[in-house]
Structures are given as C-alpha cells and as structure tokens.
Amino acid sequence: MSKLISFGMLFITVCCLTPIAHTEEVSTDPLDSVMWKEMQRSLLGGAPVVFDDQVRVLAPGDAEDSMNVPVLVDATALGEVTRLLVFAELNPIHKVLEMEPHQSKPLIGFRIKVQQATPVRAAALTPDGQWHVGGHIVEAAGGGCTAPSLSSDNEDWASRMGEVSGRLWPGDQSTRLRMRIMHPMDTGLVSGIPAFFINRLELQDNSGDLLTRLFLFEPVSENPVITLDLPKLDAVTVRGEDNNGNPVQARVLAGLSGEEK
C-alpha cells in the first residue's frame, strides 16, 4: 500500500514538473503576474499576444499617492494601432481605459487609482490582428479605489462637474492636447457612494471628423487629466458623457486666455 502511495506521489510530482505546452503563447510574461492568464482570457478574449518593448508604459516604481498614479502609455513605435487597452491587474476593477486612436497617435497620459501593488499593462492591437503587450509594476500602499474622492467631501463639486480646462501645444508633426475634466470618478467601492464616472469621450476636429475615441473606467483618477498627441490642428471639440448620462462638451482652442481661473 505504502509503495502504491509512493508511486502515486512520484507520478504526481513528475506531472507537475513537466511543462505544459502553450502553443498559443509566443513569449512568456516578463512581469510574471499571477493574473496575466485571466486578463488575457477576460479582456483580450484569449487572443495570442507578444510581449513587446515597443509598447511603453511609463509609471513610477512606487505609488506615492494611491489615488493619483501617473501613467503614460506610448505605442507609437508600433506604427498604426487600432485599439489600445490599459488595465491594472490587481485592482478590484481591472480595466482602466480603452482607446481607438484613429487620427491620434497611440499614446495617452492619465492618472489612475490603485488598490495595491499591481502590474499596469497596455495591450495594443495592430492592423494585422496581433496584440502587443507592455507593462510596468507599481508598488503601492494602496487603498486608492476604496478611498472616497475628494469631491465627495466637497458640497460644491456638482457645480463644476464636466468643466473642461485644457491647452493645445503645436509641434512639428502633431499637436499635443492636455485637458482636465472636473468629475469625481467614484469607483462604487466606497460604502454609500455609487459608481459615477466619465465613461466615453470623443474628440473631433473643426469639420466634425473623429480624431480619437476613449472609453474610461472607474480606476481613472478624479478630475481626469488626459494627454494626447493629435494631428496638427488649432481646435479640438470634446464630446462625452458619464455613466449617468451627464454630458461633457467643450472646445479647446490653441493659445492662451491670458487669465488664470
């Protein structure tokens, strides 16, 4: 009997040590995240990916403020990108944002809330149907997703909700847009405060043509500050709404207003 058990143990051990062939995987996760397989299944529909340094995720190694972790995703090295997906794997809400670049470069800057140390990952889909994945691990004390937004503490927040401030910086090849939209971006994970966040933004040029489309999710920080590199232009129309249907509507023009608010 004991021999049988020993054989059984040996068999199990051998089985566990034998690598299971992953035919669908070109490379292995450089961040060695326990959540990667699940992310690939749930967010990318199980599609094969390559881990690719051409998808840059710039973020601090340590989150000083768990409610405001700065991130810049830059997949311009890939050339054309049709979808760009950003997710924080160990957050209670994984998906951070999704971008359909269209005329914009596949580059976006923003800030996120993190609940604990987590890989922050970006997946870029190229026209050949291949996902390219880059990432960065952010260490954190955490709690950013379950801390109330500052505006939920401030009775006046509603009066400025949806207000946009922003500027355009003309460059040689492109125009940089940076804008800030006043919104609490509540995650719904704080007791008594429902999820309340801007979930859709569309940018258009003067003739109403689509420049780029963004879908935001709960982990994007309060009063989102978004950076994009657009084609050369001198005005951008911003159209969007939050999950309660409140609109975001503004036009950002080149130049300065000459007054500080």
Partner 1 sequence: MSVTQLLLFIVVMVMISPAWGAKDYGLTPKEIAPGTYVLLGQNEHFNFRNGGNIVNTGFIITEKGVIVIDTGPSRLYGEQLRTAIGKITDQPIVKVFNTHLHPDHILGNQAFEDIQIAALPSTIEGIREQGELFNDSMYRLAGAWMAGTRVVLPTQIVKPGVVEMGGHRLRLFEMDGHSHADLVILDETTGVLFAADVVFHGRTPTTPHADVAHWMQALDTVSSLKFKLLVPGHGHVVSDSLPIVQTREYLQWLIDRLSQAAETGQTMAELLQSDAPSSIANLAVFREEYQRSVVHLFPDIEAKALSRGRVEQD
# residues near partner 1 by CB under 8 A: 39
* Residue 252 within binding range of partner 1, rule CB under 8 A: yes
Q: Among 50, 164, 193, 233, indicate the residue that binds partner 1 (CB under 8 A).
A: 164
Nearest to partner 1 of 40, 122 (CB atom): 122
Task: Round to whole Å and give the CA distance between 177 and 140.
Answer: 29
Query: Measuring CA to CA, which residue among 143, 36, 29 is closest to residue 87?
Result: 36
For residue 111, what are the β-bridge partners?
A: 70
* Residue 62 within binding range of partner 1, rule CB under 8 A: yes
- For 131, the token pair is 């996902």
Nearest to partner 1 of 32, 259 (CB atom): 259
Give the range of 43-51, 80-88, 175-183, 184-192 binding partner 1 by CB under 8 A.
175-183
Find the binding residues for partner 1 in span 127-146 (CB under 8 A): 141
DSSP line for 92-151: SS-EEEEEE-TTS-SEEEEEE--SSSEEEEEEEE-TTS-EEEEEEEEEE---TTSSPPSG
For residue 193, what are the β-bridge partners?
A: 190
Give the range of 1-9, 28-36, 159-167, 209-217 binding partner 1 by CB under 8 A.
159-167
Grouping H, G, I as helix, E, B as strand and the rest as coil, residue 29 is coil
Residues 6+ apart with CB under 8 A from 237: 203, 204, 205, 206, 208, 250, 251
* Residue 43 within binding range of partner 1, rule CB under 8 A: no
Find the binding residues for partner 1 in span 212-231 (CB under 8 A): 225, 227
* Residue 192 within binding range of partner 1, rule CB under 8 A: no
Query: Measuring CA to CA, which residue among 72, 70, 64 is closest to residue 142?
Result: 64
| Contact (Cβ atoms closer than 8 angstroms) between residue 228 and residue 104 | yes
* Residue 70 within binding range of partner 1, rule CB under 8 A: yes
Grouping H, G, I as helix, E, B as strand and the rest as coil, residue 8 is helix
* Residue 82 within binding range of partner 1, rule CB under 8 A: no
* Residue 58 within binding range of partner 1, rule CB under 8 A: yes
| Contact (Cβ atoms closer than 8 angstroms) between residue 219 and residue 113 | yes
* Least separation in angstroms between CB 188 and partner 1: 23
* Residue 163 within binding range of partner 1, rule CB under 8 A: yes
The contact set with partner 1 (CB under 8 A) reads: 58-60, 62, 64-65, 68, 70-72, 109, 111, 141, 163-169, 176, 178-180, 225, 227, 249-261
